């Protein structure tokens, strides 16, 4: 990571938390048009159109209704209703009984009330349970997303509670957190589905690796634990070094193509997604949608300098 990226990334992530910048960005037609590079649209119909195209190319999907840090119970209920509507629409489109369900939804517990001042964890658990019940009825998987490190204990506690009833429930672990190797060992023993990613929040050095090489090294160590365990690893990375290492790890642990999957974000490294799928691998694409796209969009800009370059170039072209 160069000097520009080391300086720019914290500033960009800080912008993701700015209400003033969010409001300004949402009013700019230029910004909204560029956002479609990462977010296919704001409605269920937009998401389903993207799903259809991805499925036709042999890829699986995980759909995220964008939103986080809900501060009132009514907003949390609205998020639950949005997921139930989405799941009903997905259930009408797919009746597959394959081991790796081609359709999945991802959800953030902070969007379900986790941060509410009174009984937030209990409310988030109840809301997530309602979503999982509907997902079970329509044959769709659910994976609980990771957020910043202050929520990790609460999130994993809720996931463990839910998995007593919904053993197929997945969760996300982030390799830049120093605790994650131990969390991987715990979940790998229990046979859980784990989406392993690097992490997209600006975390302090006391809890997270800050150097990109250290984050990658941690990722590979954690992935070895997951591959050796009894669960289902989901390799969420665009990093060529990590992707290149996956095949050997799978073979060492006698995993076939159906025993793990690659995951990438919507529209990022699309050619690589297609290459992996065409080679017989299971590839799942993370498809976000909704009106609350700002925080997600800014984190994508912060993750890779190429994303920021793309955005600035597109802004320049549209402002001429």
Q: Residues 150, 63, 307, 151: what is their CA dihedral angle, to the nearest 10 degrees?
A: 0
Residue with tokens 């793990």: 260
Q: Give pairs for 33-36: CB < 8 Å, separation 24+.
A: 33/314, 33/318, 34/311, 34/314, 34/315, 34/318, 35/293, 35/297
The candidate with the shortest Cα–Cα distance to 154, out of 126, 133, 125, 131, is 125
- Is 145 catalytic? The answer is yes
What DSSP character marks residue 195?
A: E
**Catalytic member of 22, 134, 193, 195:** 195
Q: Answer yes or no: are the C-beta atoms of 109 and 144 closer than 8 Å.
A: yes
- Is 195 catalytic? The answer is yes
Cα→Cα distances 280→94, 254, 273, 275, Å: 21, 16, 11, 9
The candidate with the shortest Cα–Cα distance to 59, out of 92, 103, 89, is 103
Q: Cα–Cα distance between 180 and 117 in angstroms, integer?
A: 27
**Catalytic member of 145, 148, 183, 202:** 145
Catalytic residue positions, numbered: 145, 195
């Amino acid at each position: 990571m160069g000097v520009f990226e080391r300086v720019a990334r914290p500033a960009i992530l800080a912008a993701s938390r700015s209400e003033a910048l969010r409001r300004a960005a949402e009013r700019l037609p230029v910004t909204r048009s560029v956002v479609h590079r990462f977010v296919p649209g704001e409605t269920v119909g937009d998401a389903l159109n993207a799903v259809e195209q991805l499925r036709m190319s042999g890829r699986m999907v995980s759909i995220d209704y964008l939103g986080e840090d809900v501060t009132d119970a009514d907003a949390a209920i609205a998020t639950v209703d949005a997921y139930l509507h989405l799941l009903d629409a997905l259930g009408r489109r797919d009746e597959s009984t394959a081991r790796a369900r081609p359709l999945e939804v991802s959800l953030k517990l902070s969007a379900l009330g986790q941060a509410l001042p009174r009984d937030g964890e209990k409310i988030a658990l109840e809301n997530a349970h309602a979503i999982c019940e509907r997902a079970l009825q329509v044959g769709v998987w659910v994976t609980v997303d990771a957020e910043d490190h202050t929520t990790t204990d609460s999130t994993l506690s809720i996931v463990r509670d839910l998995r007593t009833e919904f053993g197929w429930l997945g969760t996300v672990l982030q390799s830049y957190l120093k605790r994650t190797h131990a969390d991987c060992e715990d979940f790998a023993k229990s046979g859980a589905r784990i989406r392993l990613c690097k992490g997209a929040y600006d975390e302090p050095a006391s809890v997270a690796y800050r150097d990109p090489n250290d984050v990658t090294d941690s990722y590979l160590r954690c992935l070895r634990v997951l591959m050796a365990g009894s669960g289902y690893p989901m390799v969420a990375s665009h990093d060529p070094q990590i992707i290149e290492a996956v095949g050997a790890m799978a073979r060492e642990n006698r995993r076939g193509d159906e025993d793990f999957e690659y995951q990438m974000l919507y529209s990022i490294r699309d050619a690589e997604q297609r290459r992996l799928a065409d080679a017989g691998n299971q590839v799942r694409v993370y498809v976000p949608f909704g009106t609350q796209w700002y925080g997600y969009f800014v984190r994508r800009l912060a993750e890779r300098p190429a994303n920021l370059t793309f955005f600035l170039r597109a802004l320049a072209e549209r402002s001429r």
